[in-house]
Structure formats: C-alpha cells, structure tokens
Amino acid sequence: MESRLHVLLLSALPWLLLAGPSGAADDSDDDDRQLSVIQPELERREIDPPAIDSEDFELGVFGGVMSIEDFGSNTVTGLRFSYHVTESFFGEAAYGRTDAGKTSYEILSGAANLLTDEQREYSYYSLSIGYNVLPGELFVGRRRALGAALYFVAGVGNTSFAGEDQFTLNFGAGARVLFTDWLAAHIDVRDQVFDSDLLGESKTTHNIGLHIGLTGFF
C-alpha cells in the first residue's frame, strides 16, 4: 500500500507543478488529469487469443540395477511417463526390462537350468500414483540453486517373467532434481512385489530396483 502511495504522489508531482500556475481549473478537468496519472501506461499489444504453454507431462528414461529374488541382479532400463495433476500429486506409467541371472541352485548343480534364455527376460509395466514431499532447493556452490523434491509412489502393474504374467504391486521413493525448468534427474528405489510359484511353492517375491533417470517436462 505504501509503495502504491509513493508512486501516486511522486507521479502526481509534475502534474501538480504544471497545474499550479494556471490556477483553479474546473473540477472535472482536474479529475481527468488525476485519473490519467494514476493509470499506469500499459503496453497495448495485439495478442492472439493466447494459449499459455502448460508443462504438466514428464517423459524420460531410466537405468539401474534390479535384483530379482532368487535370480540375481542385473542392469535394468526403462521408460517413465508422468502427468502432474497438482504440485503434489502425479500419475506415472513406467515400463522396464532386465534379464534374470541364475539361481544359486543352478550355479551349484552345474547343469540344471530352470529357465530357458527366453524365459529369463523380465519385463514389467506399472501404473502408479506419486506424491511429492519436501519440495525445496539444493544449493550447488554459491550461485546456483536447483529445485528439488522427494516423492513417494505406489501402484499396480504387471510383470512378465518365466513365460508368465504376474499381477504386481510396486512401492518406491525417489528424488527429483531440476537442472532447468524442464530437465530433471531422478534417483529412485522401487520394490516390485508379486506372487511366484516358480521354485515349487508359492511365495511373495520382492524385486528391488535402484535407478537413475533423466526426464523432460513438456
């Protein structure tokens, strides 16, 4: 309020000085002048019906290490696509693939292979809801600050492994660091949980991936 008052008084000053010598002008004239002073000079531009570009989508790739229960760890690569609904919530679709290694039994026995090479292909997709927590800035040196947030995700999906499709739950957490408005790096951990009877008895398996990723907003 104070600054507005200052602007008003200061900008009114030259008019008052000009108006001073000419004596008492009539009231309506005075009002007009006052008004023209208060109104800021606006740039009148011809603008098309403007469409503000919205950047609520995020698409990117990730890579990392995935540990498949009983079948060792291997590199995993994948794609990730998010839609940011609000500053807190986002929906995410992801696809990843890796290859299963050998079980301890297969290694120790020497020859007994439980799965063919084709069956060792492991791929999954997931549909998740994410929630951003602790948004803020990371300071890099003295002059740079990067936007960052931690997030939690949980969702459902499907895993194709050993020639079978398995309904899969996934949970995870990650950190997103924005290098620019649109370019972000991720570090995250996901646990893919599904029931498997591959080794005889049915059990719940946890398959944990550690990923780094690069995404762009558009």
* Binds other proteins (CB under 8 A): choice among 9, 56, 203, 204: 56
Kindly state the smallest distance separating residue 85's Cβ from other proteins, in Å.
4
DSSP conformational letter for 42: P
Counting contacts by CB under 8 A, is residue 1 touching other proteins?
A: yes
Complete DSSP assignment for 204-218: EEEEEEEEEEEEEE-
Counting contacts by CB under 8 A, is residue 152 touching other proteins?
A: no
Counting contacts by CB under 8 A, is residue 35 touching other proteins?
A: no
DSSP conformational letter for 199: T
Cα–Cα dist 73/104, whole Å:
12
> What is the CB neighbour count within 10 angstroms for residue 155?
19
**Please, which of residues 2-21 interact with other proteins by CB under 8 A?**
3-4, 7
Contact 207, 66 (CB under 8 A): yes
User: Which residues contribute to the site for other proteins (CB under 8 A)?
Assistant: 1, 3-4, 7, 40, 42-45, 47, 49-57, 81, 83-87, 89, 91, 93-95, 123, 125, 127, 129, 132, 134-137, 145, 147, 149, 156-158, 160, 163-167, 178, 181, 217
